Amino acid sequence: MTGKATQAALRELGPSLPTRAAGCGAEALRALSEPDARFSIVLVDLGLPDMSGIEVIRAVRTRHPDTPVLVASIHSDEAHVLDAIRAGARGYLLKDDTALGISDAISRAMHGEYPISPSLARHLLRMAQPAGSGGDSGPGLMLAPKELELLALLAKGTSYKRAASSMGVARSTVQTYVRRVYQKLEAHSKVEAITRARSMGLLD
């Protein structure tokens, strides 16, 4: 639901892939509320003319909980990024970052990954490092091997049930790992934990 560049990227993924654009938040909310509306992915610009894109993200999560949301924004500050992630965004792409193309980010988000612009990941990593640490300490280094293994599986879109089977542990143990990861990374959701881990270089 962004501009011409996004629609061009979608056509690159599949020429016959139907696309729909909304010029403002109100138009996007109307589209999301249509009875037969179905979306493979929703792209949101945080700087909409009539409201914050955060409201649109929340509407997607409420009305279409299985539809991934990818943010395309000029804002690289921590507040905007974390607000978007907490609202339910699966990925965050900076408009001026050419290292991660729109079509690549869309494809990854649609396949259960959590794409984030490399320059933004580096920026978040610098913010995550305590002053004077030289990058040798921080929350990520306190994660146990099993917690890191779980994070890697979740980043690939693996369910808790499948993660438990893959790791050879009970689902309740996986849930314990998740709680520990949230606490150590100061995260409030799976997406936020994965994004923080990526920004700290803990995940590929």
The string of pLDDT tens digits covering residues 111-136 is: 877 788 877 766 665 555 444 444 44
Q: What are the structural domains of the chain? A: 4-128 (3.40.50.2300), 139-199 (1.10.10.10)
The model's confidence at residue 1, banded by pLDDT at 50, 70 and 90, is very low
In angstroms, what is the C-alpha Rg of the chain? 17
Looking at residue 112, its pLDDT comes to 79
CB of 195 within 8 A of CB of 93?
Answer: no
Q: Tell which residue, 193, 83, 61, has the closest CA to residue 139.
A: 193
Looking at residue 5, its pLDDT comes to 61
Its pTM stands at: 0.61
Mean pLDDT, the chain, integer:
81
Among 20-24, 31-35, 42-46, 137-141, the range scoring the smallest mean pLDDT is 137-141
CA–CA distance, 15 with 79 (Å, rounded to integer): 36
CA–CA distance, 60 with 82 (Å, rounded to integer): 17
